[in-house]
Structure 1
Amino acid sequence: MEGESQPLAPLQSTSKSLPFTKVWEQSTEDNNLTLYGFRRFKTSHLVNLRFLEAEIAELDHEIYQVGLKSTRRAVSGRDRLGLRLSRRDSNVPEETEFVTQEMVLKLRNLLKEYDDALASFNKIMSMQTFSLIDDERQSSKRTDLHPYEVYLTRLVRVDLGPRTTQDPFYRSIHKSLRALRYWITSSKKSTDEEKGSAMNKNMSYQNTILIADMLSRFLVALAAAAFMVLPLIMVSYQNMQRTRLITISICIIVFALLISATLKTSGVATVGATAAYAAVLSVFVSNS
């Protein structure tokens, strides 16, 4: 009857492969890897950027050709853009035919999409990542992937800050932990298949980011303590001043090289840390 309100249809899931119950389970998960871990679609982002880049490049070429044809003034002496050597097309439209409101709006929209996509991709790529193999609950659902693909797949942690303070030493530990996890998982799966046993219902997790951070801090502190204590012990058993200076000089050089090679520090930070280290050793030598 006209004027009567019709009952609303039930809300359908936006994805046939992922019903609402699964979405609800992931959104209320106790484990942080499942709760805050999301796919970053790296390749799809890159494909989108390449498409936008190609469209803008085509339009940019046409703009240059029309500009070279329409300009009447001589190229400036510096020629910063290299316009004097630019190749010119034979069939170039007139300025009035090419520069239209439609073209300007198209250029603005493409550039806005391109700039936003670049900024968003840069932000995504700077986020903390972990391997899909670290989260057995999510990896068990990706039946379309080979175990090695699961190991290579990265997910982002939306609850953590960007990767601005990571150093090569931390990344090496993180990479080693992922490789160890892959080896353990592969060995366990092979053993279960040989025995014909069912899969364990208790899903395992490995917070590689936290473990790598703790291990890197501990090892750096241990190495710093060793660099402070060992030279002092060596110098205490040396009587000649010349031998002491050689020992201290070698320790300072090795310390500076290790700081530069293993930690992501700037040149100024390396010089400051080396100077502080040299000052401590020099004070000990002068007082002994």
Structure 2
Amino acid sequence: MRVEIVFIGNGGGRWATITQKKPTGGFRIHTDELKLHIDPGPGAIVRLNQLKISPWKTNAIFVSHCHPDHYTDTEILIEAMTEGMLKKRGYLIGSLTAIEGFGKYEKVVSEYHKNMVKHCCVLYPNDEIELYDTKLKATKTKHGDPFGIGFRLYTKLGDIGYTSDTEKIDSLIDDFDGVRVLIANITRMKNERIRGHLCSNDIIDIINSMNKKPGLLIMNHMGLKMKNPKREAEYISRILDIDVVPARYGLKIELLDGKYIYKI
């Protein structure tokens, strides 16, 4: 039985995207059957090849919302997933804005690419989809894209939550209560709150309000002003009394029965 999380990037926001001082390739979740790439932003395909992770094995792609640091390499991943656009294959899952567009929010995947995906799915908060040997439930966000979503992925070795980009909202407490691993997009340190994003103190408040805290919190999507992620992780861990790890390029976390293995 296999469940692993691999980070192709750990950065987010326009400054990290432009400078690539923190890579913006998203992350992946691999199980025995699922090879899911989440939010493949700029550099995803380059970083995958550098890490010697085969993009051809991708069989599902999740795009949380239509901001460039979350979607720009989606079509390239679709071309890999469909074996060079020769085989109708895999899942494309995302928000309404990312998949279909809405008003001023233009879709970010062409009809040409969508037509080669076997299953193209627009999800709204609380929608669920069976995904190979897992199940994915979309979660609510509050961000610049009004239809953005995160997810809770149910696996045989515990649930994995992903906040995506969002402000602190009450629904995050119930959406991720009891997950084994929570991947939270924490852009800023301590109480340096900015609209549409979480800071460290926000995630502390959210997790402290849960009935059952996650066993592991992974800090993701960090902006350039997150100067010392390791120290910030120690600060969050000390208050919450749980394991906290800052994502970094190439980080691999393997879920085992009752423990984790970290690799870089």
Q: What TM-score, normalized by structure 1, do the two folds share?
A: 0.20
Instruction: Kindly indicate which of the two structures has a greater share of residues assigned to strand.
Output: 2
Instruction: Return the index of the structure with the highest Cα Rg.
Output: 1
Q: What TM-score, normalized by structure 2, do the two folds share?
A: 0.21
